[in-house]
Structure 1
Amino acid sequence: LPLTEDELYELLGEAAARLGAAGVAVHWPRELARTLSAAAVVRSPAPGSATDGTPFFDSEQLLRFNWQLALDGDPLTEREMDALAESHRPVVRLRDQWVVVDPDLVRKARKRELGLLGPVDALAVALTGTAEVDGETVEAVPEGALAALRDRLTEGPAVLARPTGLDATLRDYQLRGLAWLDLMTSLGLGGCLADDMGLGKTVTVIALHLHRAEHRGRTAPTLVVCPASLLGNWQREITRFAPGVPVRRFHGQERDLDTGPGGFVLTTYGTMRTSAEDLAAREWDMVVADEAQHVKNPFSATARALRTIPAPARVALTGTPVENNLSELWSLLDWTTPGLLGPLKSFRARHARAVENNEHVENEEAVERLSRLVRPFLLRRKKSDPGIVPELPPKTESDHPVPLTREQASLYEAVVRETMAQIETAEGIARRGLIMKLLTSLKQICNHPAQYLKEDGARLTARSGKLALLDELLGTILAEDGSVLVFTQYVSMARLISAHLTFRAIPSQLLHGATPVPERDRMVDRFQSGEVPVFILSLKAAGTGLNLTRAGHVVHYDRWWNPAVEDQATDRAYRIGQTQPVQVHRLIAEGTVEDRIAEMLLAKRALADAVLG
């Protein structure tokens, strides 16, 4: 039978499958090729640039973004694509063989040009291997310098030697971190070192500063922005690990920017915010944001001020790159590598919503696409990773459900009933305020009625399920001659626990935000020397910057809104230098809002692990 071209095309499509199902085999001439394919290709106009040490984003040139058709994987020439574009038949003669042509491919051959891409967009396309074209996600392929840059980023760097000026021995994973930071900063791409607390991010950055001075001839100073509580720690570690390198504080009365060549200037987030203009007027080789979760809100005055300080290299340090949602990750990486993830609105639409919605059909695909884009710019190592810190002892985490006492239960019900009646008639900001007030009240009732009722000096025993369990835990821990950290987010609750332990003649000490720095240091020494076995700490004031390895137990008396902050608090005890197993106890009031908070924290932890793992 002679076939018309339309019949031939139908036979190549679904008709062959239906014939096959009916037991009719279809044989085709061997020379009939059906392997014509199309990919969106990104080409850089200039050779080199990405791999010769020139910062990639310094290039002002736009990259061409076109459809490229290929036969059996071999790209067609422009002339061959022209011939294809002009054909109006389903079978075309190409390279001495007959080729079956999908009408969709003919359209792509006719309208080859997809536009121009800026360097940032082009890099995002290269890393994910996909692009959005007319609302559809298509395969995208980088070529030339862009492909070389992608390979450098995904293959990772060769390990560097320890800089000669560094008075410290770096572990293998710290040397790898140094090499990675050097690669990213030398390409002008910046990076976020997101290692767990206690894995030595500070010493890695000091080594990077020395390496850039020694091997890249950098002479401008490095600016470190950190919380006020960590200024002393940075100064001590620079003096200890890089003796002879000038270090100045730009804070309080000591606002000194005269570092001399190649030194460090240390400042706080608060001072940086008010003095951004002075800092922006100076030349910096590198800007480092420590505990960078402080700028996770891109619209805050602190985050906006940090963006105004220019530097050829930007490094964010944080053990918690995702605390609540993926917008925080966008904020960090948009500072280290501006534009990488696109505008926040489109990032949320393209990546975050699909990833954060666990029931979404495309969830796994979205997670993988975002991971490919983010992974090269974020280095994360956890204490649980094999071979990271084999000398760390095991850590056990336990949730302890506790019942409410009769007094707690009746207070809880009364507050829910009363506040819900007010919420039903309120709207807008007033309604949201009432909901926040309700949550806070319920959490305080779960802790102890005396905290909610603001009772001072009242009887505390036999009124709270949590306090009764804490007594039990402390009895066991102290009988074994152990030491324990007790964290609570409320200073008022910390004071009640302190008063209760004093009443029971158990030696303890209390640290909160108003504790002066010299007294903090004395408290740490007393605890570490075994003088005081129970250390009560407010979560926000003591969740970072303290080394409390004497503790074999950590108690979270109440739950914070995200697991990353709790983990950082636990890491006061579970860090390098710890020799005993660490047990983490989380107290949760059964059948209350605390059960729901525990579920939410599990979901947040899963979100962070999915994208960063």
Structure 2
Amino acid sequence: MPPAAPPPRPAAGGTAGWKSAVEALTGQTPAEPTLPTIAEAGDGARTAMGLLFELREQTPRTNDRWRGATAVRASATRARAGAIRLGVRPVLRSDSGKWVKSTITWSNVGYQLNRQNLNVEQHRWFCQFVPLHRVDRPVYNGQDTEWLYLDEFESPLLWHLLAEAQRLGIGLAGSHKDAVVTVGATASVLLDAVLTAEDLTLSPVLSIDGHRHPVGDAGALGEHGVYAYRLGVDAAIVLAPSIEPLSPEQRRLLGSTGDRAAPAPGLVVPAGEVDEFLREYYPSLRRSLPITSADASIAFPPPPPPVLVHTVSFEPKQAVRLDWQWQGDRDEQAEVEVLDRVNTALPDLSAPADPAAPTVTLKGLPAAEYTDQTLPRLDAIPGVRVQLVGEKPDYHELTGTPQLIVTTVETEKRDWFDLGVIVKIDGRSVPFNPIFTALAKGRKKLLLVDNSYLSLTQPVFDRLRELIEEARALAEWETGLRINRHQASLWSDFEDLADKTEQAVSWRAAVGGLLQLERGHADATALPRATPLPAGLNATLRPYQLAGFEWLVFLWEHGLGGILADDMGLGKTLQVLALLSHAVQHPATAEPRRPFLVVAPTSVVSNWLAEAARFTPGLRVGAVTSTQATSGRSLADQAQGVDVLVTSYALFRLDFAAYQAHGWAGLILDEAQFVKNRTSQLHRFARDLDVPFKLAVTGTPLENNLLELWAQFAIVAPGLFPSARRFTEEYLRPAERKVRSQRELIERLRRRIRPLMLRRTKDVVARDLPAKQEQVLRIDLDPEHREIYDTFLQRERQKLLGLMDDLEANRFIVFRSITLLRMLSLDASLVDEQYAAVPSSKLDALFEQLDEVVAEGHRALIFSQFTSYLALAAARLDARGVRYSYLDGSTTDRPGVIDEFKTGDAPVFLISLKAGGFGLNLTEADYVFLLDPWWNPASESQAIDRTHRIGQTRNVMVYRLVAADTIEEKVMALKETKARLVEAVLDDDAVFAAALTADDIRGLLEP
């Protein structure tokens, strides 16, 4: 309607002067204040929107009724069959002023702004409504999608939305004719108590803005509000937020049918039981529901003081769960006083009492001490009630003086015996396993499985400290106290400490034999008994080989692993073949016989077949030459009907799952240096293969550092040594530990390995071998060659010396430069073809010697680590018309090349050091030329022993060609250091050296 005419202006300074000033600022006169009605809501230019409320009766589908709507509009005239819920949906004002559903729904309201010409602000309100309704629940598609139910509106922001709707002029309408929808200010749900002479009645009461409503015709809006309704004539719906969040008990009072329990019309307590109600039931009831007495007919007792309930739940595996909770009405000052008394009584190991904190769980010893010592103190504190859940264990402390008894019991695990150390305290026997573990971890007390506990600070346990310092590093001792058969010296330590020992029979046989070897036979050649050679052995064993065979038989019969580490050329393969024949002819058990598995380098597999055919023709020996996938044959098929199956390291690695699944009598690792890298997959597979007997065969058990020795013993005698980390600390870094002298450590190491490693050097059998003469030829470089070498040396020195502080990070760069200088020491053309015309003094010196050797009818082996240098030597042989054989890693027909040299008359055999370091028996040659030295003495010894071995009848001449004043002389010095390491550990008592260090490399680069 048009605005009313402005009233006359009052005189200046009159009582309405302020009104005139406002009119002057606004340019208009005030209209009569009115509120928009539903008919007037919205703006005239766009379609107004409203929110339609409807009480909907839920009609869940059944087997007989599975079609149709899941809810219908509630009616006052129809019997109620389902729960009532309050649904809402958007509606539009029609041209006639009525609210119509039109085509707008909650699912498409976001797209209807322009299609329906909607009020922009009202449309934005409806778009916000849907996501707020679904903030805590998934979006469901399909059933009853036109309606959203306010019963499920969990967010209290609903009341902000409804207030905003009133501001925006959004109409609130009911679907029943003339129904009125209102939003109240506050609501409450409580019990009202009325006491009469006959009884006490507690009735549920719903109040909205001071007006009572029937609780049966009402519902809860989440935890934040309620609604009440009236159907039929004068239909109405009223909503209001609750004063405080509704408890589950309050929500259960509302509603009448369906998924809600019908509210009780009233709780009636007979007069004679009112006192009991007030005393026993009223305190807990009032914490769930507000209780009042509108007519003041009853005076309720004051709330009791707060009680701190400490719930202690006893759980499996000696665990105790601790909960704290207040009961009664809250009183901040009283609660602070109770908590102070409680936390004073709690031990330091327990978490402080805090009802607001998460549950605390104590396990093991802390749980036992808490139950035994702390709970009685807490139970005596006023204001605290201790509530026990579950059966309380009988935790108690043992205080007697312990006595030790040691026994051994056989286990199913190979190489291990349970070490039955029994501790007797207070007349009861306590297993030593948990005591040992606790002592090893430095604990002061120990909880036992029978819920008793004891102190470990008693003097009797101090006697074990030195033993634990060594033995606690064994991983197996973490899961069960066991002693390995190989740890004979460790058993001796236990015998010294125990009050009594009872040994298992088989343990006594195994360990007793080892102790005999360890204590009385330093060379490990005298065995418990002599063993006849197997029938059909086609060889005459030398005395040291016979001793080796008997030693191997001893290990085999007792299930002990070991390392046969004789020098190259002393017949290790023959000794092993003799063992295999013995084992096949004298099986250890009556079970079906399984074959032995021999794993060797690819180039040596054929040698095993040839040696077996020569020395043990009665053995059925087979070989695996390809993977299962390539050959099309399973490993089980190839192992069928053989006594020994020989395979290569490569095939063993590729088909390990098949090898693990088959089952073997034993594992023989030939040239066991192939598994010396403890981080390699090959080492892990050899270690994990489950067999009753493992033997490593190698002439070079130790090449660079002691961890290589550890790696091999980890395979054949697991548990002999602790972990690699602890082994490094104990033996490789004695100076850092400063616990024992180096000599003491090395003696301890040799004492451990002596019973399980058999090593005879050529000095032991010198009478069986011809003489060997070694000579170093020091060769001066040609002047032009010298100038090139010195130039490169200075450049590499400048580059590398700055990298020495972090050798591990720069190791690749360092060794690349060292290799460059080594190649330059041989021939400048190996580095750059532009130096091809520079004279090679070393090749000249080689052929000065070689021409005479060939002329006198001798045969020579020529070794180099660099195949490119061997190619230069081959070119000179071609130029001289000297026939030769050639072998390196790329040779495809290795057996054919070797046989060609052995059966032919070529006087020279060129061999790369890597390809010819093992698996060759070349006694046809009697001269050896090493063209380039390396700091690993084992590599050179392997090369020399291709010809200086059993079967050689002539003197062997060895020449090492070393370029003077070059890196090769530094390498020779380092080689001597490495040789001392081997001698110290395996052969004599010299102080062993460390692995290759940054200082070693600096020495290589010195002028």
Do the two structures share a fold, i.e. TM-score over 0.5? yes
965, 968, 973: which one aligns with 1:599: 973
Task: Give distance in 2, aligned partners of 1:178 and 1:200.
Answer: 11
Task: Give distance in 1, aligned partners of 2:732 and 2:809.
Answer: 29
Find the counterpart in structure 2 of residue 558 from structure 1: 932
3-state SS of 1:351 partner: helix
Deviations 1:272-306 (A, max 9, x none): 11111110001111011100000000111111122
543, 548, 566: which one aligns with 1:172: 543
Output aligned runs, 1:201-350, within 5 Å.
Answer: 201-217=572-588, 219-252=593-626, 253-254=630-631, 256-258=635-637, 259-260=639-640, 263-350=643-730
From the superposition, tell whether residues 221 and 417 of structure 1 become closer, same or farther in structure 2 (CA, over 3 Å): same
Contact 1:321 1:328 in 2 (8 A): yes
Deviations 1:496-527 (A, max 9, x none): 1111222233333322112222xx44443443
Deviations 1:81-129 (A, max 9, x none): xxxxxxxxxxxxxxxxxxxxxxxxx985574565796444685372696
Output aligned runs, 1:176-187, within 5 Å.
Answer: 176-187=547-558
Task: Give distance in 2, aligned partners of 1:412 and 1:229.
Answer: 37
Find the counterpart in structure 1 of residue 262 from structure 2: none
Task: Give distance in 1, aligned partners of 2:809 and 2:788.
Answer: 23
Name the aligned partner's letter for residue 561 of structure 1. Answer: W
Find the counterpart in structure 1 of residue 875 from structure 2: 499
Name the aligned partner's letter for residue 45 of structure 1. Answer: T
- 1:480 aligns to 2:834 (yes or no): no
| CA deviation after TM superposition for structure 1 residue 588, in Å | 1.2
| CA deviation after TM superposition for structure 1 residue 250, in Å | 2.3
- The alignment covers a number of residue pairs equal to 516
Contact 2:416 2:483 in 1 (8 A): no
| CA deviation after TM superposition for structure 1 residue 179, in Å | 1.4
From the superposition, tell whether residues 364 and 63 of structure 1 become closer, same or farther in structure 2 (CA, over 3 Å): same
Find the counterpart in structure 1 of residue 956 from structure 2: 582
- 1:407 aligns to 2:781 (yes or no): no
Q: Normalising by structure 1, report the TM-score.
A: 0.76
Deviations 1:353-389 (A, max 9, x none): 33999x998222222111000111110112221xx36
Task: Give distance in 2, aligned partners of 1:591 and 1:221.
Answer: 55
| CA deviation after TM superposition for structure 1 residue 484, in Å | 1.1
Q: Which moved more, 1:430-439 or 1:348-357?
A: 348-357
Larger relative CO (CA 8 A, sep 6+): 1 or 2?
1
Find the counterpart in structure 2 of residue 45 from structure 1: 407
Contact 2:415 2:484 in 1 (8 A): no
Output aligned runs, 1:329-478, within 5 Å.
Answer: 329-354=709-734, 362-385=741-764, 388=765, 390-423=767-800, 431-454=810-833, 458-459=836-837, 463-478=839-854
Name the aligned partner's letter for residue 338 of structure 1. Answer: P
Contact 1:56 1:187 in 2 (8 A): no
From the superposition, tell whether residues 356 and 282 of structure 1 become closer, same or farther in structure 2 (CA, over 3 Å): farther
| CA deviation after TM superposition for structure 1 residue 262, in Å | 5.8
Q: Which moved more, 1:118-127 or 1:215-224?
A: 118-127
Contact 1:554 1:583 in 2 (8 A): yes
183, 198, 206: which one aligns with 2:569: 198
Task: Give distance in 1, aligned partners of 2:641 and 2:405.
Answer: 40
Fraction of identical pairs, as percent: 34
Find the counterpart in structure 2 of residue 74 from structure 1: none
| CA deviation after TM superposition for structure 1 residue 130, in Å | 6.7
3-state SS of 1:335 partner: helix
3-state SS of 2:662 partner: coil
Find the counterpart in structure 2 of residue 3 from structure 1: none
Task: Give distance in 2, aligned partners of 1:291 and 1:186.
Answer: 23
| CA deviation after TM superposition for structure 1 residue 559, in Å | 1.3
887, 893, 899: which one aligns with 1:511: 887
Name the aligned partner's letter for residue 545 of structure 2. Answer: Q
| CA deviation after TM superposition for structure 1 residue 213, in Å | 2.5
From the superposition, tell whether residues 361 and 63 of structure 1 become closer, same or farther in structure 2 (CA, over 3 Å): closer
Name the aligned partner's letter for residue 471 of structure 1. Answer: F
Task: Give distance in 2, aligned partners of 1:474 and 1:440.
Answer: 26
3-state SS of 2:844 partner: helix
| CA deviation after TM superposition for structure 1 residue 602, in Å | 0.7
Task: Give distance in 1, aligned partners of 2:513 and 2:544.
Answer: 23
3-state SS of 1:541 partner: coil
From the superposition, tell whether residues 144 and 465 of structure 1 become closer, same or farther in structure 2 (CA, over 3 Å): farther
Contact 1:126 1:150 in 2 (8 A): no
Q: Which moved more, 1:472-481 or 1:427-436?
A: 427-436
Contact 1:206 1:242 in 2 (8 A): yes
Contact 2:884 2:909 in 1 (8 A): yes
Contact 1:400 1:585 in 2 (8 A): yes
| CA deviation after TM superposition for structure 1 residue 149, in Å | 5.0
- 1:159 aligns to 2:522 (yes or no): no
Task: Give distance in 2, aligned partners of 1:284 and 1:123.
Answer: 22
| CA deviation after TM superposition for structure 1 residue 228, in Å | 0.5
Find the counterpart in structure 1 of residue 347 from structure 2: none
Q: Normalising by structure 2, report the TM-score.
A: 0.48
3-state SS of 2:915 partner: helix
3-state SS of 2:407 partner: coil
From the superposition, tell whether residues 482 and 604 of structure 1 become closer, same or farther in structure 2 (CA, over 3 Å): same
Q: Which moved more, 1:265-274 or 1:245-254?
A: 245-254
Deviations 1:211-265 (A, max 9, x none): 1232234511100110000111111222333324332222315554333456111
3-state SS of 2:781 partner: coil
| CA deviation after TM superposition for structure 1 residue 557, in Å | 0.2
From the superposition, tell whether residues 246 and 277 of structure 1 become closer, same or farther in structure 2 (CA, over 3 Å): same
Contact 1:407 1:449 in 2 (8 A): no
3-state SS of 2:885 partner: strand
Contact 1:246 1:260 in 2 (8 A): no
Task: Give distance in 2, aligned partners of 1:119 and 1:153.
Answer: 22
Q: Which has the higher helix share?
A: 1
| CA deviation after TM superposition for structure 1 residue 441, in Å | 0.8
Name the aligned partner's letter for residue 774 of structure 2. Answer: E
3-state SS of 2:852 partner: helix
Task: Give distance in 2, aligned partners of 1:481 and 1:298.
Answer: 46
3-state SS of 1:583 partner: strand
| CA deviation after TM superposition for structure 1 residue 489, in Å | 0.4
Task: Give distance in 1, aligned partners of 2:491 and 2:854.
Answer: 54
3-state SS of 1:382 partner: coil
Structure number with bigger Rg: 2
Find the counterpart in structure 1 of residue 449 from structure 2: none
Task: Give distance in 2, aligned partners of 1:605 and 1:169.
Answer: 32
Q: Which moved more, 1:320-329 or 1:348-357?
A: 348-357
What are structure 1's unaligned runs of at least 5 residues? 1-40, 67-105, 132-138
Task: Give distance in 2, aligned partners of 1:130 and 1:111.
Answer: 14
What are structure 2's unaligned runs of at least 5 residues? 1-402, 425-456, 472-476, 988-1007
Name the aligned partner's letter for residue 59 of structure 1. Answer: F
Contact 2:606 2:895 in 1 (8 A): no
| CA deviation after TM superposition for structure 1 residue 166, in Å | 2.6
